[in-house]
Amino acid sequence: MQGKPSDFEAIGSRLGFRAVADDAAKLLLVWQGARFPAFLCLGIALALGFISVPIVEALRQRGFAGPAASLWYFPVMNLVLLGIAAFLLSVKRTIVVDKLTRAVTLTKRSLFRRVCLSVSYDEIAALRVAADQVYSGFALAGSSAAETYPVTSLRLVLKDNATVLMDRGGKKRLEELAARVAGIVGKPVDAGTQQA
């Protein structure tokens, strides 16, 4: 195994990989990240661009002594929104189950880093479709902190008892995905119990 399984744990309750290539020799799954927030930030940044461009021009002509001096934060906010949108659009996860190399390769990429995990078929004991306990969100003062709820997940179970998160989502979809992966890898699917 090359890489750390803990790098592929996810906070969210659903990932939702889609199959890009699916044949007898290879299965390629892709998750593109949070698209709605990315396009929302991009849309707001473009809309605020109509306000920011005149403010930048006024600041350039008169400096911070003119009437637009108190609006300096609009262009800065616009740049921050563009940065957030660029980061969210760059987030991508892939899973390649390749019969030729006899390995399952997970890749997580963003604007700042790229992390890979490669597990050979010989290191895999089984695939498990079970419930993970996922945190419901951030705890606020006086709220019920650290509440969890079960979410169905698909995990690779390694021979050293470590697990690697592949996907989370609906049970039926994950059972179908587990059957496809198990058909290529040649390992059994375990309907496991609840995870910590």
Give SS3 for 126: strand
Q: From 1.10.10, 2.40.10, 1.10.150, 2.30.29, which CATH number describes the 5-33+91-190 domain? A: 2.30.29
Residue 20 main-chain phi, psi, to 5 deg: -95, -45
pLDDT in tens, 50-67: 888 888 888 888 888 878
Confidence (pLDDT) at 117? 92
Confidence (pLDDT) at 5? 83
Q: Which residues of the chain have pLDDT under 70?
A: 11-14, 135-147, 192-196
CA separation for the pair 98, 35 (Å, rounded): 28
pLDDT in tens, 108-143: 999 999 999 999 999 999 999 988 777 665 554 555
CA separation for the pair 37, 35 (Å, rounded): 6
Q: Enumerate the domain spans of the chain.
A: 5-33+91-190, 36-88
Q: What is the largest CA-CA distance in the chain?
A: 71
